[in-house]
DNA sequence: CGTAATCTTGAGTCCAATCAACCAATGTGG
DNA sequence: CCACATTGGTTGATTGGACTCAAGATTACG
């Protein structure tokens, strides 16, 4: 009811497809329970069939594939407003990866039947959710290309360009933004070692392109950085 | 009506979710037009919003991201029975990649409104299609992990394990099967150079694990190959 | 303050890319 | 039918990017 801090869920969906006032209210009614989770907690463990959908309201999380030897690959980064497990098929498949909080996070649980009912009733909302799913897939494809084709330096540049676009939410790319990840976590995202991540970041800074320090990114020369990375934000627009 | 060569579309969907006889007939009615396309032709070009869905009936295709400098990354391999562009959101987004025939292919065009109507009417069919989409996503995640975490030798082994599972269609992994790709194409799949692909394949053969020759794969020691690759077929089961 | 993360730096190694031929199979046209 | 071009595969030598190992500097935190 309190309209003050617009739900990140609403604002993210709204960016993808126009919502009516009724749609917006329906979103607010979706939530069953909201909780805080500490960094490192699983929103959804690997191997379990997720019975509920959830929405990330605050903080950062990731989809993460862990190996027995301690190595891990981060498959996706999730930011406030992202829906987790909203594709219906998810209910009947064992999760092939975990969803884990990278910071302290606020999570809203949504009973799957309620989501289904709401989406059936509100076409605009359903369309926005489909767009969200499609964009998450597009990001996944972009990451695959990034890992497959770009060397470390450009790979990092590409990733930072993407995050600048994503956190700005379509307002043309943030030039300074919070990215609450350690260099180790960055390594898990990019398929590099922490040591190499460190060197690559230093090089980006010394070349005057991007500055990552203490979880804050500053895009010092977006144009040259885009060019270096071969970045094109097309896949992030609705 | 002719039951003889079961439509690959039906059999692939059936593997994911049980279909009624009515469902099966509905699938047959979906198709608008069937055509042959030559190797190298685009089923869907990058940058175009695909107006129709299509099904691959015969031959192999891929999702492919091309760069100006000639490099390319293959994002997914498509085999008979795969649906292309069936996620509804696809209609309103510019494609961030091309879908291209890797061999001569037979393609069935499906008008999007007709698909929508059919899925609305046949819940079992809709469920199977959702499963197909979910599995394609799971494969994409597995590829990301493969590129991010495994060195070339194990990466190739993992890929071949996956393909053995996929072509066998759940019957326990083919030990000999056709994989109509050149070593260059394999390089585009795995983010390696053709030269290195060649060396890796030779090593797999000389170690008695897998033999790839002339578009035919022979899994000589599946157990050791799975172990080497850290392969687990969980993500490929419905 | 002391302990633990995280970040930083350096030296050495190795995997995979690059560069450059060469071979085999296929196909084309004179 | 044979010269020739083309494509895909094979091999070797060399280079370089990223990993490994190891130690030190910083920062965060109880």
Q: For A160-197, write each residue's pLDDT tens digit.
A: 999 999 999 878 788 999 999 999 999 999 999 999 99
Cα–Cα distances (Å) from A7 to A1, A107, A147, B185, in that order, read 10, 12, 33, 46
Q: Is A171 exposed, middle or buried (0-12, 13-18, 19+ CB in 10 A)?
A: exposed
b/e sequence B198-215, b meaning 16+ C-beta within 10 Å:
eebbeebeeeebbbbeee
- Is the pLDDT at B202 greater than 90? The verdict is yes
B155 is written with which tokens? 């990466």
Q: Is A150 on the interface with B (CB under 8 A)?
A: no
Spacing of C-alpha A144 from chain mean position: 15
Q: Who's near A149: CB < 8 A, 6+ residues apart?
A: B67, B71, B73, B191
Most A CBs within 10 A among B124, B145, B155, hence the mutation to make, goes to: B145
pTM of the predicted protein model: 0.95
Nucleotide nearest to B185 (CA to C1'): D8
Average model confidence (pLDDT) across chain A:
92
How crowded is residue B194: how many other Cβ atoms within 10 Å of its Cβ? Answer: 13
pLDDT digits (tens, 9 = 90+) for B43-95: 987 777 777 899 999 999 999 999 999 999 999 999 999 999 887 676 678 88
Cα–Cα distances (Å) from B237 to B33, B165, B220, in that order, read 31, 10, 23
- Is the pLDDT at A121 greater than 70? The verdict is yes
Q: Is B45 on the interface with A (CB under 8 A)?
A: no
pLDDT digits (tens, 9 = 90+) for B132-167: 999 999 999 999 999 999 999 999 999 999 999 999
Residue with tokens 């801090």: A5
Nucleotide nearest to B197 (CA to C1'): C16
What integer pLDDT is reported at residue A57 of this predicted model?
96
pLDDT (average), residues B182-187: 98
pLDDT band (50, 70, 90) for residue B2 = very low
The answer to whether the beta carbon of residue A138 comes closer than 7 angstroms to any atom of strand D is no
More confident residue, B212 or A174: B212
CA-CA-CA-CA torsion sign (A200, A201, A204, A205): negative
Gap between the Cα atoms of B42 and B64, Å rounded: 10
A151 is written with which tokens? 């060397």
What integer pLDDT is reported at residue B90 of this predicted model?
65
- Is the pLDDT at B1 greater than 70? The verdict is no
pLDDT band (50, 70, 90) for residue B102 = very high
Q: Who's near A183: CB < 8 A, 6+ residues apart?
A: A194, A197, A198, A201
What integer pLDDT is reported at residue A104 of this predicted model?
96
- Is the pLDDT at B42 greater than 70? The verdict is yes
Gap between the Cα atoms of B203 and B156, Å rounded: 11
What integer pLDDT is reported at residue A5 of this predicted model?
55
b/e sequence B94-124, b meaning 16+ C-beta within 10 Å:
ebbbbbbbbbebbbbbbebeebeebbeebeb
Gap between the Cα atoms of B101 and B39, Å rounded: 5
- Is the pLDDT at A90 greater than 80? The verdict is no
pLDDT (average), residues A196-216: 97
Q: Residue B235 has what DSSP assignment?
A: G
What integer pLDDT is reported at residue B225 of this predicted model?
98
DSSP three-state, residue B180: coil
């Amino acid at each position: 009811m309190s309209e003050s801090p617009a739900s990140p869920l609403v604002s993210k969906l709204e960016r993808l497809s126009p919502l009516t006032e009724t749609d917006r209210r329906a979103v607010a009614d979706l939530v069953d329970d909201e909780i805080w989770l500490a960094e490192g907690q699983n929103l959804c463990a690997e191997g379990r069939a997720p019975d509920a959908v959830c929405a990330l309201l605050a903080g950062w999380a990731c989809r993460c594939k862990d190996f027995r030897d301690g190595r891990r690959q981060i498959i996706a980064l999730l930011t406030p407003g992202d829906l987790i497990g909203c594709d219906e098929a998810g209910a009947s498949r064992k999760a092939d990866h975990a969803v884990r909080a990278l910071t302290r996070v606020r999570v809203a649980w949504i009973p799957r039947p309620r989501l289904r009912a709401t989406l059936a009733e509100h076409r605009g909302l359903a369309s926005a959710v489909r767009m969200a799913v499609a964009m998450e897939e597009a990001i996944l494809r972009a990451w695959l290309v990034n890992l497959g084709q770009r060397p470390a330096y450009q790979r990092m540049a590409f990733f930072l360009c993407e995050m600048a676009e994503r956190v700005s939410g379509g307002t043309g790319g943030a030039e300074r933004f919070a990215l609450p990840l350690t260099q180790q976590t960055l390594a898990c995202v990019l398929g590099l070692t922490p040591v190499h991540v460190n060197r690559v970041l230093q090089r980006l800074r010394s070349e005057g392109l991007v500055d990552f320090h203490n979880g804050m990114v500053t895009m010092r020369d977006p144009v040259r950085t885009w060019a270096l990375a071969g970045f094109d934000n097309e896949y992030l627009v609705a």
